[in-house]
Amino acid sequence: MKTTDTADLWWKNAVVYCLDIETFLDWNNDGVGDLAGLAQRIDYLAELGVTCLWLMPFYPTPDRDDGYDITDFYGVDSRLGHHGDLVEVLRMAKDRGIRVIADLVVNHTSDQHPWFKASRSSVDSPYRNFYVWRKEAPANQPQTVFPGEESGIWELDDKTGEYYLHRFYRHQPDLNVENPAVREEIAKIMGFWLELGLSGFRVDAVPFFLERDPGKSSDDDSNGDPHDYLKSLRAFLGRRTGDGILLGEVNLPRDEQVTYFGGEALDELTMQFDFVAMQKFYLSLAREDAAPLADALATRPELGRPAQWANFLRNHDELTLDKLTDLEREEVFAAFAPDEEMRVYGRGIVRRLPTMLGGDPRRIRMAYSLLFSMPGTPVLFYGEEIGMGENLAIGGRGAVRSPMQWNPGPNGGFSDASKRKLTAPVVEDGYSPRFVNVADQRRDPDSLLTFVRTLSRIYRNSSEIGWGTFEVLDQPHSSVLAHSVSAAEGRMVALHNFGQNPVSVALTIPRTDATTRLVDLLNGGEVELSESGKADVELDGYGYRWLRVIEQGSRRLY
């Protein structure tokens, strides 16, 4: 896929913000967040510097899996509003320079979806092959995506006496994506929402979406390479939008992730989350040693122009640690999830970053400074910008999906409904709305919200982060990650101290002439640079610095 216009690659230096409409703001006070409430907060997102809004599923649903169990791919859940409300959100976002993408969840449906109801009505139903059925289930079934939640991936349907495939929950039967009729429906679903104004999709669980029917022989290639199908979806998106994106959830080793970009052609997924770097980040935090993250970033496969890594510290699921070794995982558990209720599936943590770090503002700010300075595109989960905590009482992955905290009042300003009517309970510990909320932080120039706004602004003015070449810089301190990103527009050097002790970092910055300078983007002022390009940069415990290299003739803002 060839792209020549940089405007088509808007996502290379976007700021992505993920939210769940039903927990963001309830405007009609029925206890459930809605599109009308989201519309009231578009200006807040614009002030934060968000340029791409990612909406979690808003489709009609029985809501047994937080909206990922869908009964109508073309609809809007009536609790949240209707199509007109969504179009108004899209219009308001567009007016403020914010693009909107949504979850594309087409690896399964709810068992209440009309397709599945028709499929199980008879073995002769025309919708039978919309799903994967078997007369016999394998004796030794693999675990589902969520270990311990189900006994296996095949479920007996009493009505027809056959088994259907579900790689997730039994109430989420897998679609038969090898069926041409299903593929046609998926294209129609994408086309429908693109026509309404979406700029692309976050594609849920891509490897499971493309995985072949486990009942078929591995030699059966009658439906072609699954990656050819992913290429066709990317081509369809390009024809319909020109600059739309597919942001893929692919939690696999790096060499396998590359295949989902499309290899050298880069004609499949536009962006992928870097799960490896995220997990190594937490290992570095636990050890106060930058080496695990530095290695993860240095060994990232290099991507061509029309592809990108998406960086994140937290998302809406458990904080998975499945790519760490057993011993590494236990280190992170011991540091950040010492109690069993803080863990799930034997691989993940159900806490938010501030609580894992004991509320230490130095470490929290260092973490977000790093998120925005790493090469790639930063992705925020709602509430991160104010330091929200989790509510373990919700249970499992839902612990991090409590209502957004807008003010210190009842229900955190999320809703005027009674507590019992809320879609999820509000945090009630030391991270409750009384202590953590938007209203108070908007008025505080030293708040985390103000800091994240600043990071967003500087990141957007530093195009080299999204476009440039990454390099880990040599320096003597194991606790420090020093890296640079360079592009034709300029170069930036970032330093982050994972340790609690102050350090002085010796750097060498090649000079083009005597006018080369190092400007401190976060704190103001400059760092002295010797004639030979040497600089000693002071870092506090858990400190961070962004330094722009300014050379003769540079007209960069700083």
Question: Encoding tokens for residue 289?
Answer: 């040693």
Strand partners, 301: none
CA distances in angstroms from 182 to 92, 132, 179, 187, 246, listed in the order given: 33, 12, 5, 9, 19
Which residue is associated with the tokens 């530093």? 462
CB atoms within 10 A of CB 139: 6
How many residues in total does the chain contain?
A: 558
Task: Please name the amino acid found at residue 480.
Answer: V
Say whether 416 is catalytic.
no
Cα 253 from Cα 218, distance rounded (Å): 21
Task: Please name the amino acid found at residue 527.
Answer: V
CA distances in angstroms from 178 to 69, 96, 130, 328, listed in the order given: 20, 40, 9, 38
Contact 381, 401 (CB under 8 A): no
Strand runs (DSSP E) across 279-351, as ranges?
308-312, 319-320, 343-344, 348-349
Alpha carbon 198 to chain centroid, angstroms: 17
Backbone angles phi, psi at 524, to 5 degrees: 80, 170
Cα 73 from Cα 109, distance rounded (Å): 9
Which residue is associated with the tokens 């578009």? 42
532 burial level (CB within 10 Å; 0-12, 13-18, 19+): exposed
Say whether 211 is catalytic.
no
Alpha carbon 502 to chain centroid, angstroms: 32
Backbone angles phi, psi at 213, to 5 degrees: -55, 115
Sign of CA pseudo-dihedral 418, 420, 425, 427: positive
Cα 39 from Cα 27, distance rounded (Å): 9
Q: Among the options 66, 204, 274, 317, which is catalytic?
A: 204
Q: Among the options 20, 249, 318, 464, which is catalytic?
A: 249
Q: Could you list the active site residues?
A: 204, 249
